[in-house]
Amino acid sequence: MTALPKHIAIIMDGNGRWATEKGLARSEGHLAGAKTVELVIKECLRHKIPHLSLYAFSTENWNRPKEEVSYLFELFCQFVEKELPLMQEEGIRFSMIGDKTELPENAQISLQNAVERTKNGGSLELTLALNYSGTSEILHAVRQSAAQILTDGETLHTIQDLAHNSEALAAYLASLFDKQHYTEQNLRNNLYLPSLPDPDLIIRTSGELRLSNFYLLQAAYAEFYFTDTYWPDFSAQDFEKALIAYQNRKRRFGKIDA
Ligand code: IPE
Ligand code: IPE
Ligand code: MG
C-alpha cells in the first residue's frame, strides 16, 4: 500500500453548477465552496498531510463577468481574514502562487498579511493558487532564471572581456544555457515556491477531466483522482475515498515493480 500523500493539490470545480442547479446565484456556490475549503484543511490536519494546494483562480478566470471576479476576490479576502486565527492556532503556513502584482490592491494587502502572520507555521503548508497558470509559472521561471544567469557578476565580467570578439562572445553566451550549465534545477529554483514538493495527488471535482493549466510541470508524476461531486458537496467521506484510491495506486516513476 502506498503511504499517504505528502502534497495534495485540488482543482475546486463545480461551484457555479451546484448553485445554478439549485436555482441560486453562482456567488452562492462560491460561498458554499468556501465551507468545503475549511473542511478539507481540517482533514489534512487530521491526517497530518503537510502540504495542501488549492486552485482558486486561474489566469483564464479573468474572462468571467466582472461582478463574479470581484465577488471572488472579496470572498478570498474574507476567507483568509476569517481563517487567520485558526491558521495561527493550528500552525498553518499560508502561501500563495500566481502573479500577485495583478491582484486587486486590497487583496494583495490582506493575503500578504496572512503570509506574514503565519510564516512560522509548521503543521500544514496551505498554498492558494490565485491568478495562477502552469504556463505563466513556467514562463516566469524561464525569464527569471535567464535574467539571473545573464546579470551574474562573473557573467558580466566575462561579457566585458569578450566585448570585442563577437564570435567568442556568442559562444560564451550560448554555453551559459547548455546542458552542463542550465539544468532542470535552474528552472525549478525559479518556480513560485521552489521549496514546495510536487503534488503526489491531484483531485478535481465536478466531473471535468482536465488540468485547466494547473501545476503543468509539477504534475509530471502526480496521481489523479476525479469525482463527479461538485466542490460544495465534497465531504470528508469523499476526501477519504480519494486517499484510499491513492493508497491503492502503484507509483513506479518509470521503474519496474520490485
Ligand atoms: C470553481 O467553480 C471556482 C472557480 C473557478 C473560481 P466554477 O465557478 O468553475 O463552477 P462551474 O464549473 O461553473 O460549475
Ligand atoms: C479551473 O476551473 C480553475 C479553478 C478551479 C480555479 P475552471 O472552471 O475555470 O476550468 P475550465 O474553464 O472548466 O477548464
Ligand atoms: Mg468550473
**Ligand 2 site, residue 208, Cβ cutoff 6 A:** yes
Mutate to test the pocket of ligand 2, among 61, 135, 210, 234 (most ligand atoms within 8 A of CB): 61
Distance 33 CA to ligand 1 centre (A): 9
Total residues belonging to the chain: 258
Cβ–ligand 2 contact at 57 (below 6 Å): yes
Q: What angle do CA 20, 242, 233 make, to 5 degrees?
A: 20
pLDDT of residue 72: 98
Of residues 15, 61, 113, 178, which has the active-site annotation?
61
Q: What is the pLDDT of residue 257?
A: 85
Identify the active-site residue in 13, 15, 131, 213: 13
The confidence score (pLDDT) of residue 258 equals 73
Provide the β-strand partners of residue 58. 132
Cβ–ligand 2 distance for 18 under 6 Å, the answer no
**Up-side HSE of residue 226: CA atoms within 13 Å toward CB?**
7
Q: Which ligand is nearest to the CA of 26?
A: 1
Q: Is 136 in the pocket of ligand 1 (CB under 6 A)?
A: no
| pTM beyond cutoff 0.95 | yes
> Which of ligand 2's atoms lies nearest the C-alpha of 16?
8
Nearest CA residue ID for atom 2, ligand 2 = 13
Nearest ligand (C-alpha, residue 14) = 1
61 labelled catalytic: yes
Can you give the pLDDT at residue 109? Answer: 96
pLDDT in tens, the chain (258 residues): 999 999 999 999 999 999 999 999 999 999 999 999 999 999 999 999 999 999 999 999 999 999 999 999 999 999 999 999 999 999 999 999 999 999 999 999 999 999 999 999 999 999 999 999 999 999 999 999 999 999 999 999 999 999 999 999 999 999 999 999 999 999 999 999 999 999 999 999 999 999 999 999 999 999 999 999 999 999 999 999 999 999 999 999 999 987
State residue 21's pLDDT score: 98
Q: Look up 200 and say whether it is catalytic.
A: no
Task: Say if ligand 1 is within 6 A of residue 12 CB.
Answer: yes
